[in-house]
Chains A and B, each alone.
Chain A
Amino acid sequence: MANANLASTPPLGEAAIAPLLPPAHSKTSATGEKAATRWTLIAIAIGFLALFVLLPLGAVFAEAFRAGFGAYWEAVSEPDAVAAIKLTLLAAGIAVPANLVFGIAASWAIAKYEFRGKSLLNTLIDLPFSISPVISGLIYILLFGAQSVLGPFLREHGIEIVFALPGIVLATIFVTFPFIARELIPLMQEQGTAEEEAALTLGASGWRTFWHVTLPNIRWALLYGVILCNARAMGEFGAVSVVSGHIRGETNTMPLHVEILYNEYNFAAAFAVASLLALLALLTLIVKLVLEWLYADQIAGTRRH
């Protein structure tokens, strides 16, 4: 789905700019252009969105229900589809918390400490963005495949990594790990260490400082990172395809199952499962909206998306 690309433009710096702007709650724009210009720009943005996001999304749902609701239900409740849904949720359910921990640790290290190789670490975090997902999958085949150095050891001990759940989870973690870190790093760098230092000076422990000072400061960025990370984890195709082994009802995730159904000329079922995947993505966005709405006052104090 298109969610993956959203992350490349992390909205940053609003918190820093905010104090410099006049307290503009009036309708006039700060840049002072004419109303016509403003409406043209808005029309372009909405038109573009409709054409490239809403239209395809609508097409997916229209195709999915073309054969009727009965056929839709049959397609998504069929055992192979259910297995694919479970596997996708399981893989995302492991990958997202793992990346949550990694993302916080990495951005903490980068934003709050000075150390040798910091810029290298910063660059390495972007690696999964810059290399093709197929390569990300192949890395694990080269590492853990039967022909790899580790292969004989793994076989002797009966450990299955590639073509099984661990491989799928590893590949998913790899392709999604920048999402959370990339959201957090700019924000944490911007916030600096002053508040933490104050907390420590007042006698708070490191752990307590983290829970009561750092986490509240970063939680909206964190939430946004988790949502993007989750959307990509569920939607990842390339890397997972390489390590999956494509065993029906076992190592096929939802995107892989969609491809299989499509290749079997089973278009209605393919779009039914695809629509479910789109629904999951939409659901995460709705969760985000609801949270933003519930906590609107607090977000206004920190930052907004």
Chain B
Amino acid sequence: MTKLRTRRLRTILAATAVIAFTGFGTGLASAQTTLLNVSYDPTRELYKTFNQAFAEHWKQETGEDVRIRQSHGGSGKQARAVIDGLQADVVTLALEADIDAIAERTGKIDADWRKRLPDNSAPYTSTIVFLVRKGNPKAIKDWPDLTKDGVEVITPNPKTSGGARWNFLAAWAYAEKAGGNEQAARDYVAKLYQNVPVLDTGARGATTTFVQRGIGDVLLAWENEAFLALQELGPDQFEIVVPTLSIKAEPPVALVDGNVDAHGTRKVAEAYLEFLYSKQGQELAAKNYYRPAKPELADAADLKRFPDLELVGIDSFGGWKEAQPRFFADGGIFDQIYKKGS
């Protein structure tokens, strides 16, 4: 009896082991050239189509097959992963500061990487717009409407989210121009953040809060995210409101020199980034609601979707190197106004 039992048990154990090890063979990758593009959240749709286009282009040019592996996450988190050893060949992130961090911490990216590609290494730009519920029930037209009583604004936490920093600076830029001085800007953003019921950690989280959970009256969002939400979730539910002034966000791209040299992928990685500036690359950017750096190459029908508005660049804040510590470091302006507000 005991013997029989143990035999059964042995069979079970052996079966477990067999199941465990059959999986091994499937993990082996083929010897094809691969590139790893480490990117931030809202570029998923863009790079899905772009990677396919590039693989076809590369096949035509060189006859070689290339497969692009794609990783997405919060911009800061992704930079951290590359610093910790994620083998990115190219990084396409939300903030200059994130690529700078990789350059400084690892030395794998050349310090003046911004100058290596046209347009400050930003093949596409975006801006911050408002997404409101259909019919715009709170009559939100421009920045001053956001600080009115009873208006709930959804924006993520600028401490953790790259997109949220652009939101903050867009609001600041407007208020500083309208009020004429820094104090006016401080008062405005302090009031604005009093109307924020939840600070999500990332841009997609904030979009989900607004769209799925139905919280808030207005979402401060990337223009491309707002268009995408409209497209994916139905234009019968939301409207885009474009303020008179906003910020020009330049999500940069860079080659990770240290990694491409180790992988022997420099040539194809460089071609990949250059392809972003080609006619096809610019067309795809515009199709995916990014403002192309070279609008003359993109489709006029796609460009028509981008309304004209006054755009302020990060340069007017002295670049990220100055803006980051001034506004978002511990004890910086955001901490001051947010504490005072709560």
Contacts and interface: CB of A to CB of B under 8 A. Distances in A.
B84 A146 contact: yes
Contacts of B5: 216, 219, 298
Interface stretch (B16-24, B52-60, B141-149, B328-336): B16-24
Contacts of B219: none
Given A146-B85, A215-B6, A247 B69 contact: yes
A284 B3 CA distance: 26
A86 B23 contact: yes
Interface in A259-281: 260, 262-265
A304 interface: no
Interface residues of B, number: 38
Contact of B84 (A94, A162, A212, A263): A162
Given A93-B20, A93-B21, A163-B87, 4 more contacts: A100-B16, A215-B6, A247-B69, A263-B41
Contacts of B49: none
Given A94-B20, A147-B105, A245 B86 contact: yes
Contacts of A260: 44, 72
Contact of B23 (A90, A212, A246): A90
B311 interface: no
A93 B19 contact: yes
Contacts of A188: none
Nearest to B45: A264
Interface string A187-219: 000000000000000000000000110011001
Nearest to B73: A246
A89 B2 contact: no
Nearest to A154: B85
Contacts of A10: none
Interface of B: 2-3, 5-6, 9, 13, 16-17, 19-21, 23-24, 26-27, 36, 41, 44-45, 69-73, 81, 83-87, 105-106, 204, 208, 228-229, 232-233
Contacts of B2: 212, 216
Contacts of A94: 20, 23
Contacts of A165: 27
B71 A245 contact: yes
12 contacts: A86-B27, A90-B26, A97-B16, A144-B85, A147-B83, A163-B87, A219-B5, A226-B16, A246-B73, A247-B71, A263-B208, A265-B233
A90 B85 contact: no
Contacts of A155: 85
With a 10 A CB-CB cut-off, give which of A96, A260, A263 has the most chain B CB atoms: A263
A144 B5 CA distance: 43
B23 A93 contact: yes
A246 to B, nearest CB: 5
A246 B44 contact: no
Contacts of B27: 86, 90, 165
Contacts, number: 90
A262 B155 CA distance: 19
> Would you call the interface of chain A mostly helix, strand, loop, or mixed?
helix
Contacts of B24: 90
Nearest to A252: B71
Interface of A: 86, 89-90, 93-94, 96-97, 100, 141, 144-147, 151, 155, 160, 162-163, 165, 211-212, 215-216, 219, 226, 245-250, 260, 262-265, 298
B87 A160 contact: yes
A260 B71 CA distance: 10
A97 B20 contact: yes
Contacts of B85: 144-147, 151, 155, 160, 162-163
A247 B3 CA distance: 48
A163 B86 contact: yes
A219 B9 contact: yes
A292 B233 CA distance: 47
Contacts of B229: 265
A94 B24 CA distance: 9
B98 to A, nearest CB: 15
Given A86-B23, A90-B27, A145-B85, A212 B105 contact: no
A145 B83 CA distance: 8
Contacts of A146: 83-85, 106
With a 10 A CB-CB cut-off, give which of B3, B84, B105 has the most chain A CB atoms: B84
B80 to A, nearest CB: 9
Nearest to A98: B20
B232 A265 contact: yes
Contacts of B41: 263
A212 B45 CA distance: 58
A262 B41 CA distance: 12
With a 10 A CB-CB cut-off, give which of A163, A226, A262 has the most chain B CB atoms: A163
Contacts of B44: 260, 263-264
Given A90-B24, A246-B72, A247-B70, A96 B6 contact: no
B177 to A, nearest CB: 34
A144 B84 CA distance: 9
Contact of A249 (B19, B20, B69, B84): B69
Nearest to A92: B20
A246 B71 contact: yes
Contacts of A147: 83-85, 105
A97 B84 CA distance: 29
Nearest to B205: A263
A219 B72 CA distance: 43
B79 to A, nearest CB: 13
